[in-house]
Amino acid sequence: LVADLRKWVSDYGQQSNPVFMRIIEDLSTGSNFEFWADLDPENFVPRPELENSNRKWRNINLLSTLRNVIVFSPVALTWAAISIATSALAKFERENPDAVTNFLQFWQQGFGYLDSFWTLSNVAFFDVGLVVLIITLTFTIGVMSKRAIEFENQEQEQIDIDRSQLILKLKIYIHIQRI
């Protein structure tokens, strides 16, 4: 039983739990049996916290933050491009007062006044890329969250099983010692 208690301490990081360490010491030395026999192990066997899930949730939160930061970037890119194209069109019209231009045609063609990066098709291409990235991040975050929850549930179930088995061993030991 003492070996099982020590394994529990090691497996679930309970080295700093003074009550649990005391019962191991008392059972090892055969002292204070009556004290422990009067207590229900359900009340002093700790419920360990999940350890591995914090890192998983940290990564999920990081991806969520990244997605939330870039979610409006397609809109910002498009409006920046509209602003730059509008300014370039105004300059074009000042320098070419007789030219008849359509804004969308100017935005796409540039006519030497608009850098190719800011053309309609190029901005649309980058917008689509950003939207695909946002969709991919959203999907990935969903899958990772589902897996993290499933992992936590399985891990918690195993912890509960191990804890219940240890409590049962303690109860049997106490019962046998009383006989």
**37-93 confidence digits (pLDDT tens):** 888 888 888 888 777 667 888 999 999 999 999 999 999 999 999 999 999 999 999
Q: What is the pLDDT of residue 176?
A: 84
Question: Is pLDDT larger for residue 18 or for residue 70?
Answer: 70
Q: What is the pLDDT of residue 52?
A: 67
Q: Which residues contact 52 (CB under 8 A, 6 or more apart)?
A: 151, 155
For the whole model, what pTM was predicted? Answer: 0.70
Please give the Cα distance from 134 to 67 (Å, whole number).
6
Is 50:158 a contact under the CB 8 Å cutoff? no
Q: What is the pLDDT of residue 133?
A: 97
> Does 32 score more than 90 pLDDT?
no
> Does 169 score more than 70 pLDDT?
yes
Q: Name the residue with tokens 């105004």.
A: 90
Is 90:113 a contact under the CB 8 Å cutoff? no
Question: Is pLDDT larger for residue 103 or for residue 176?
Answer: 103
